[in-house]
Amino acid sequence: MQELAEKSKLKSELLKSYSGAASRIEVLEERLAKVKDFSLKLQSKLDSNAAEYFAEKKALEAAKDALIVDNNSLLAQKDELLEKNKKLRQREAGEYPGASTYFASC
């Protein structure tokens, strides 16, 4: 009889322990679901930010390339103008290439 009472008491304690564990599992599952939802929201935001970043980076690279082309064009124009300026100054000073031989033949 005493063994039966002890077994019954043991079963009762096991059931209480099991119900406590089951309730903790439910709480943990709820927390896990919340963490998963939060993680999905963060991942979605990260993907959105990454797409925006790469689009902006591509636009900036295109603008940079256009500026490089413009800069090279301006440098070529500057060099051309400097060469014209040099020739004009030489002409004013009478140092125009070939001018001495031309005037010597006259």
> What sign does the dihedral 59-64-69-71 (CA atoms) show?
positive
pLDDT above 70 covers a percentage of the chain that reads 89
pLDDT for residue 105 is more than 60: no
How far apart, in whole angstroms, are the C-alpha atoms of residue 67 and residue 72?
8
**What ranges do the domains of the chain cover?**
2-105
Give the pLDDT score at 106. Answer: 54
Other CB atoms within a 10 A radius of the CB of residue 99 amount to 13
Task: Enter the tokens of residue 26.
Answer: 């439910």
For 3-37, the pLDDT digits (tens) are 777 878 787 887 778 888 888 999 999 999 999 99
pLDDT band at 2 (very low <50, low <70, confident <90, very high): confident
Query: Which amino acid does the sequence have at 98?
Result: G
Segment 46-88, tens digit of pLDDT? 999 999 999 999 999 999 999 999 999 999 999 999 999 999 9
